[in-house]
Structure 1
Amino acid sequence: MKIHLFQQCLIDMFYPHVGMAGVEVLERLGCELVVPKKQVCCGQMFTNSGYNEAAMDAIKNTIECFENAEYVVSMSGSCAFAIRDEYHHFLKDQPEWLARAEKLSGKIYEFTQFITDVLGVEDVGARFNESVTYHTSCHVTRLMGVKEPPFKLLKNVKDINLIELPRADRCCGFGGTFSVKNPEISEVMTREKALEIAGTGANVISGSDQACLMNIAGMLDRLHKEGEIDRRIKVMHIAEILNCR
């Protein structure tokens, strides 16, 4: 099966090992991957702040890169949601581009969703001997409606000790530009999330949205340095865990 991979610019620029883990998992499951060289930001960061016109080139570039794909797999739920559900709002006055966006919207899947719902796989053959808790990011869970796939995959990882995260439905405080525009509120939310994670006793916090994980990692590191958390907690995208053998 041939799929086009939407890496997410955050992963591509700062966490390439996450992208590589995703590629290796999908290739082991029999997928042939295409990674368009022209892909850049999907435009979400601009539209989140109201800069819709400034986002237009990025939106149209994304459509051109992926519209002819059979399947598009995104390593980021927030980007996948933007492409699947938001593009048509910004292109409503451009009929030709609107039609192309709507065609693309039916092809895009979040990483774990694609594995369970399209490939029909719940056990990828991973082995990970650690205690892990999982952050259910807002875009993946609430907006995309992807709730069960990550847990189906993690529960089938051999040797894993999967621990439920209390109040898992609460936002980590990132929210894209929300964390920049409202840093005081964001900090309180992120601190609460980090302490909840530490309270589980898990050694690893995982998730499927790297932006959330980046935010959480910063707070975990800070609270550990300040002595409020007694150990270092590793932060791993779910693709990294599923790639462990």
Structure 2
Amino acid sequence: MTVGLFVPCYVDQFYPQAGIATLELLEKLGVTVVYPERQTCCGQPMANSGFSHLTAGCDDLFIESFREFEYVVVPSGSCSLHLKDHLHSKTNPEEARKLRSRVFELVEFLTDVLQVKRLDARFPYKVGLHQSCHGLRGLHLSQMSELVAPPFSKPEQLLGLVEGIELISLDRVDECCGFGGTFCVFEEAVSAKMGKDRVADHMRNGAEYITGADLSCLMHMEGILKRQKSNLKVIHIAEILNSKISNDVIKERY
């Protein structure tokens, strides 16, 4: 199986280790990964700010870069959802429609397409799982707590395959961190307070790391943790699923 790897711009610029971990993890699972070098932003920041008419260049470049792949894998819930719902093209409308259905967030791809049942990974830490809003309510990676329905969690399913990990229980399992893309700019005070509440839940329950499928949320919480001079760290789920390095090396990297 050959997939196209789309690495969102903020991952590329601020957390390249998550993109590398995604590549290595997929290759360990027998997937041939191609990284189209001309790829750039998916256009989500502009669209979320009300300027979707300015995303045409991003849309057409994405189609040009990934039209040949049966699957496009993205280590980001928000970017995945944007592409699934909003990838359009005036010049290639049919190609855009077809490509939208071939975009998969990483956790979604591992559970739904590859149906991973075993991982050679070790991460001996207490970990809190952050359920980002895009992944939870858009991609349905986990069951929403407000619904009277059988619970499930695709990220927990994968993390349960990792040796040594201890997933902690949170008081509020799927509360928003307050990031919300441009929301954190236009509603700074509200966003910061929500983020403080979110990290406090993890700290209160003894987490050593916060993980999730959306680095934008993790970046928001990381900023709060650094200002609080906290020892609690954030780490993308791909890095845990790909982790076989020693305890000391992990601590040095974060």
The bucket for the TM-score relative to the shorter chain is: over 0.9
SS in 1 for 2:180: coil
CA contact (8 A) 1:8 1:76 kept: yes
**Alignment map for 1:30-49 (pairs within 5 Å):** 30-49=30-49
Query: Residue 101 of structure 2 corresponds to which residue in structure 1?
Result: 106
Q: Residue by residue, what CA displacement relative to the aligned partner does 1:199-244 show, whole Å, maximum 9, x if unpaired?
A: 1101111011011100011111212x3xxxxx50111000111111
Tell whether the 8 Å contact from 1:135 to 1:165 is kept in structure 2 after alignment.
no
Q: Counterpart of 2:86?
A: 86
SS in 2 for 1:17: helix
Residue aligning to 2:231 = 232
Which whole-Å CA distance do the structure 2 matches of 1:135 and 1:32 have between them?
A: 29
What whole-Å deviation, never above 9, does each CA across 1:86-111 have from its counterpart, x for those lacking one? 224xx5xx3x5321111001111110
1:150 matched to 2:155 = yes
Q: Which residue of 1 aligns with 2:117?
A: 122
The one of 171, 176, 197 equivalent to 1:171 is 176
Aligned to 1:242: 241
The code of the aligned residue for 1:26 comes to: L
Kindly report which structure 2 residues correspond to 1:54-69, keeping only aligned pairs within 5 A, or say none.
54-69=54-69
Alignment-derived partner of residue 131 in structure 1 = 126
Offset of residue 188 of structure 1: 1.0
Distance, in Å, in 2 between the alignment partners of 1:122 and 1:141 is 22
CA contact (8 A) 1:115 1:122 kept: no
**C-alpha separation between the residues in 1 aligned to 2:170 and 2:121?**
22
- 1:22 Cα shift? 0.8
Q: Alignment partner of 1:221: what SS?
A: helix
Q: Offset of 1:123 from its aligned partner?
A: 2.3
Q: 2:135 matched to 1:140?
A: yes
Matched residue type, 1:243: N
Q: CA deviation at 1:51?
A: 1.2
CA contact (8 A) 1:3 1:34 kept: yes
Give the one of 205, 212, 235 matched to 2:217. Answer: 212
- Partner of 2:128, secondary structure, is strand
SS at match of 2:92: helix
Q: CA deviation at 1:62?
A: 1.0
Identity fraction in percent: 42
Deviation at 1:122, TM superposition (A): 3.0
Q: CA deviation at 1:52?
A: 1.7
- Provide the TM-score with structure 1 as the length reference: 0.92
Which structure 1 residue ranges, 4+ long, deviate > 3 Å from structure 2?
none
Q: What code does the residue aligned with 1:244 have?
A: S
Shift of 1:164: 2.1
Q: Distance in 1 between matches of 2:165 and 2:124?
A: 5
State the alpha-carbon separation in 2 of the partners of residues 146 and 107 from structure 1: 17
- Which consecutive residues of structure 2, in runs of 5 or more, have no partner in the other structure? 143-152, 245-254
Q: Which amino acid aligns with 2:70?
A: E
User: Could you tell me how far apart the structure 1 residues matched to 2:87 and 2:166 are?
Assistant: 39
Aligned to 1:13: 13
Instruction: Identify unmatched segments of 5+ residues in structure 1.
Output: 226-230
One-letter identity of the residue aligned with 1:219:
I
Aligned to 1:77: 77
- In 1, Cα distance between equivalents of 2:6 and 2:63: 11
Count residues with an aligned counterpart: 234
Take 1:8 and 1:166, find their aligned partners in 2: how far apart are those partners? 31
1:140-195 deviation digits (Å, cap 9, x = unpaired):
11111122221111011111111122212211111111101110111111111111
